[in-house]
Amino acid sequence: MKKLLKIMILIFAGAATFFVVSAGTVFVLSAYFDVGPPPEIFEIASGRLDRFLAEMDIRGSSDDSSYTYDEEETYEETYNEAYEPIYEDNEENKLHIEANNIEVSKMVVDNSLLPWNLKLVNRYNFLDEDFMPYLAPIGGGMYFDARAADNLVRMLESARADGLSPVAVSSFRSIDRQRVLFNNQVNRRLNEGMIFDDAFDAARRVVAYPGSSEHNLGLAVDIVAANYRNLTSNFGLTDEGIWLAENAHHYGFILRYPYHKQHITNIIYEPWHFRYVGIEHATAMFERDLVLEEYVAELIFMQFTND
């Protein structure tokens, strides 16, 4: 009996040793040969972000291309139907606050100095990882910043009262959800054979980097028409798109990415994407034909000169 017990112990010890050695070997080999992408792409991506921003040829991209019914499939198709921004290398298309030499299209701001409704979120200005607005439901399982939700509902109701059929298809999206969408896009391209750098760059042209989408802020909404449910430039030609572009400021919203300001926003023309900034600010931007980057730059400049 004792001999049998010793044999069993020896067998067990040998098996355990073999398992440990094998696991260690697999781990070392997998690390050495880089057999596949890690499961959490975002951790790698975040470490490389500064370099990508410094080296990337800044071109327009969709803010998040977030059409709703299938967030992981539809938006890449609709993005491909859109067109790239027009860039003209002349002084007219380079807006500067000359006194401070601020290039508006690439400026980084301290959002803590701005009111909640004017926070600048884009590829150069990120939300904190733990950012979470106070939300209110707006129907359809969607949520919006509670301080602006009523304005959004009133805007849609007013359009419907005028005989139109606007449909909100995407509003608040958490940074965690944005990360999932972004990682899926990176992984999809890695599976297609792209190297990581190219996959990361390609993903950013379709889905905004986590924390850099206005949808993460809770103050942006994508709107289509009941009879036109594509996030393409042609939405701007629909009755709903025209009505929103002309009337959104009455409810505190701006057309965030107009066609003729792509060189400033770094985002393609998105006639479906509206951002809440408040009625006073939205009216001023509408009347003066300013995008948020320009408006914020002016506020900062005025604050600087007043100090």
Q: Which residues are catalytic?
A: 270
**CA 77 to each of CA 34, 38, 55, 164, 236: distance values in angstroms, whole numbers, following the listed order:** 31, 27, 27, 26, 18
Which residues touch 43 (CB under 8 Å, ≥6 apart)? none
> How many CB atoms are located within 10 Å of the residue 218 CB?
27
CA distance 123 to 264: 12
- How far is Cα 136 from Cα 141, in angstroms, rounded to an integer? 10
The continuous run of DSSP H or E covering 170 comes out as strand 166-170
Within 8 A by CB and 6+ apart from 9, the residues are: none
Reduced to 3 states (helix: H, G, I; strand: E, B; else coil), residue 305 is helix
The number of beta carbons lying within 10 Å of the beta carbon of residue 96 is: 14
Is residue 104 within 8 A of residue 124, CB to CB? The reply is no
DSSP type of residue 48: H
Is residue 234 helix, strand or coil? helix
Cβ(254)–Cβ(280) below 8 Å: no
